[in-house]
Amino acid sequence: MSSSDNLPVPHFIRNIIEADLASGKHKSIVTRFPPEPNGYLHIGHAKSICLNFGLALDYRGSCNLRFDDTNPEKESEEYARSIQDDVRWLGFQWDGKVRWASDYFGALYDYAVELIRQGKAYVDDLSPEEMREYRGTLTAPGRDSPYRDRPVAANLDLFARMKASEFPDGSKVLRAKIDMASPNINLRDPVIYRIKRAHHIRTGDKWCIYPMYDYTHCISDALEGVTHSLCTLEFEDHRPLYDWVLNQLPVPCHPQQIEFSRLELQYTLTSKRKLNQLVAEKLVSGWDDPRMPTLTGMRRRGYTPESIREFARRIGVSKSDNVVGMSVLEGCIREDMEACVPRVMAVIKPLKVVITNFVEGKTQSREAGFHPDRPEFGSRLVPFSGEIWIEADDFSETPPSGWQRLVPGGEARLRYGYVVRCDEVVKDAAGKVVELRCSIDPDTLGQKPQGRKVKGVIHWLSVEHALAAEFRLYDRLFTVAKPDGDKAHDFREFINPESLTVVQGWVETAVNDAAPETRYQFERLGYFCADRHDHQPGGKLVFNRTVTLKDSWAKEQG
């Protein structure tokens, strides 16, 4: 499989890789995807997955999946399993076994000892508050810790005792000795180990000291033979530290860190902390709520791996801001579903129509294909009966200008059926329309009516044959393009109260045995997917609206 279903888009990282291969710097490339197992992956991670795994595929290299499990309080096996599922679902497979930063805890400790022996790391007793005070600011240099010049032997002893659990949490740290006057704050003697008694999902209680990400990541890359370590732009200022650590140690290789802009998608969030807040506060039903930008939520909503890979291809890779309109993502799934899913009819706001001149055994039904351009999808019978359901929105007593659907005394064509005329409107005591009495033109099954034009086409279902179904109509989770872009308001204030509407309606019998995650176009209504959890083939039918047929939102603002 190629990294995308269309031709790759050139970008600066490809240029670097191609130059490295052409010059002989590398014979092949090794990339990695290094998530922390502290939440579910979201659409922003999909960009990184498609980039790292896609480049490895395109240049016949390899890509590792390595979990950054250095922060044990927030990590879980549930998250780790979901991440592996998401990568596979997107269509990628990592090289060899799943790797973990914890696989290297022993080596990382030994490398830290080596830094101490070289006089390039020391144990510091400053409190976190004191450390912040000593660090300085963006405009003022930091000051040396009073513990910076401890003898090597004392540092080796203290670090060993930290590992042996002799000191309380937070009482000591190991810091790299670099430059407290550096204009880059990341080089002002960064902490590389801290004491933290926390049960780890893989190492249990073996360790009470844990390495920091910046120290762990570069060494892990080197131990795995990574050639190009791709990360988002917020790590650009960390690159000098990445290089400094590797330059001090006898590691097998020195990977090149390259930064690219992260994805910001309008009308949603890609902050794992804020997504976790939505879940914890039950503002959504869970990480896989179809309104969430998580890959598991998007999968449940009906997005396909192909559409997400195509989205990643279209948005490209650069160092400039990557704020993308939701319409780009929705356009990718519409194009994919337009070509690849069968079409059937459903009614989500049912209004009953009685066919007054229906004749049992004489009024006919018609065969219809599942897709106009895909004859291999086959066809089904669309049964007609004396009572049918239509959409309530397809009838109006006071229609607007240009209306081409049913009106009292007016005609419309039933999709795959007859031309029908509304002869009578039945209302309840409150004046609400509850039923229409209509007659068909018996000569119009598959034929144009004689002597007149009927423009409107509406969808419908036979009451006798239709299956009851639940439709979950999903819309954008937020009402504004940048829900966390207004510092005067909490992002939760912008949650769209109409982001989910649940309705009961009817659908063709052709979908009765559809497995969970089966996708359809319900004609004129949108693209839908059988819910992967609640849909029961032959039983309760539950369909999630993935996206409407057309973009109904106003032009998005940047």
Active site residues: 36, 262, 272
140: tokens are 């003022």
- Cα 416 off chain centre by: 37
514: tokens are 């559809």
**Strand-pair category, 467-474 with 263-265:** unpaired
Burial profile 210-240: b = 16 or more Cβ within 10 angstroms, e = fewer: bbbbbbbbbbbbbbbebbbbbbeeebeebbe
305: tokens are 């791996």
261: tokens are 């802009």
Rounded CA separation 295/263 (Å) = 14
Residues 6+ apart with CB under 8 A from 65: 32, 33, 83, 84, 87, 94, 98, 99
Please check whether residue 382 is in contact with residue 463, taking contact to mean a CB–CB distance below 8 angstroms.
Answer: no
462: tokens are 């036979």
DSSP letters spanning 501-545: EEEEEEE-GGGTTPPTT-EEEETTTEEEEE-TTT--TTS--EEEE
Rounded CA separation 317/473 (Å) = 33
Residue type, 227: T
558 three-state secondary structure: coil
Q: How far is CA 395 from CA 389, 402, 440, 454, 549, in A?
A: 12, 13, 16, 15, 20
Count of Cβ atoms closer than 10 Å to residue 462 Cβ: 20
